[in-house]
Amino acid sequence: MRVYFAAPLFNVAERTFNTNLTIKIEEIGFKVFLPQRDGVENTAQYLEAEKEQRRKLLFETDRNEILKSDIFLFVLDGRVPDEGACVELGMAYLDKYINKKKKIIVGIHTDSRSAFMGSKPNPMVRMAFDCIINTELELIEYLKNIEKK
């Protein structure tokens, strides 16, 4: 099964968390598209493109990977959910809803400094998820159970 990994990736801590969690998910047999590792940014096509063309390439690559995924995973950590990942969430949900796919949409939320800790995210974000999980261990167990179905 293919996992699209949506998450903030703008500092070393975020990228390290994303990489480490991706490794754990791949170790249990999933194929993960991690934009910071697998995205278009490291290709010659991207590096040779003009600024606006780079944005288009990035958007189209990530969109296409979201549409190919069986599981959409969103790291909700941070004070508020990452706005780019929120757009990706909308794409994943619409793909699931309109195309009647069995795509699984799951969030992981481990950050206690979040603006919504102890409450729920905005309903326009929250209602797109099949579930929101609070620890890496719970996520890995959840994914193992999906694999068995």
CB neighbour list of residue 20: distance below 8 Å, 6 or more residues apart: none
pLDDT digits over 51-68, tens only?
A: 999 999 999 999 999 999
65 alpha carbon, distance to own chain's centre: 11
- Look at residue 71 in the predicted model and tell me its pLDDT: 98
State the average pLDDT for the chain. 92
**Residues recorded for the chain:** 149
Average pLDDT over residues 117-146: 87
Q: Domain extents for the chain?
A: 2-148
- Look at residue 29 in the predicted model and tell me its pLDDT: 96
- Look at residue 63 in the predicted model and tell me its pLDDT: 98
Confidence band for 116, pLDDT divided at 50, 70 and 90: low
How is residue 3 written in tokens? Answer: 């996992």
φ/ψ (deg, to 5) at 142: -60, -45
How is residue 126 written in tokens? Answer: 């929250």
pLDDT digits over 74-105, tens only?
A: 999 888 889 999 999 999 999 999 999 999 99
- Look at residue 124 in the predicted model and tell me its pLDDT: 82
Name the CATH architecture for the domain at 2-148: 3-Layer(aba) Sandwich (3.40)
- Look at residue 65 in the predicted model and tell me its pLDDT: 98
CB neighbour list of residue 54: distance below 8 Å, 6 or more residues apart: 46
Task: Count CB neighbours of 86 within 10 A.
Answer: 18
